[in-house]
Amino acid sequence: MFLTDDCARLWNKQPILDPPCASEAMHFHYERAPDVTDLVSRIVDNLGFSHIPKNRVYCYRSHGSKSSNTIARVHSLPKIWQQALSEPAYYAIEVLAEQYDPLPFDEKEKTLIHELLHIPNSFGGGFRYHKNWVTRRRVEELYKTLREH
């Protein structure tokens, strides 16, 4: 893609074949998601997920993802970065606005339960995988428990 004349002037260069200038409108972006944070907090409390320190889980909404089969995903601060930054583990739950926002409320809750199940009891920066742990059955059981609160 060619840089626009405005972008070229910003960089004091002639237009070249390169990625677009940062000042051009970007299609993909993240924003904090306080509604998701509140819902995650309620789920953690009501399901007794005491291994998850809520102050180290951040929730974001992404816009413009081209992923069509993903509603949400969880990210972590890997061990190498924890050591390099002298920081403990942190997790971020990302909901993809295009897929998550239109869902009925109960499906949003189930989606977040699913993502929280990926966070291991050690809260060390790793992930629990789907096999035998993050399953539809477990999500449905936990959702039923959540509804009873």
- Residue 20 pLDDT more than 90? no
User: Which of residues 13 and 122 earns the better pLDDT score?
Assistant: 122
Instruction: Tell me which amino acid residue 9 is.
Output: R
pLDDT, position 132: 87
Architecture of domain 33-147: 2-Layer Sandwich (3.30)
The Cα–Cα gap between 93 and 75 comes to: 6
**pLDDT tens-digit series, residues 49-103:** 999 999 999 999 999 998 889 999 999 999 999 999 999 999 999 999 999 999 9
- Residue 105 pLDDT more than 60? yes
- Residue 21 pLDDT more than 80? no
For the chain, give the mean pLDDT.
87
Contact predicate 23/10, CB 8 Å: yes
Mean pLDDT to the nearest integer, 26-36 = 92
What is the pLDDT confidence band of residue 29, given thresholds at 50, 70 and 90?
Answer: very high
Strands 91-96 and 57-63 come out as parallel
pLDDT, position 140: 97
Could you give the C-alpha distances from 57 to 4, 32, 50, in angstroms and in order?
Answer: 39, 12, 13
Domain ranges of the chain: 1-26, 33-147
- Residue 121 pLDDT more than 70? yes
Give this prediction's pTM.
0.81
pLDDT, position 149: 85
Mean pLDDT to the nearest integer, 2-12 = 43
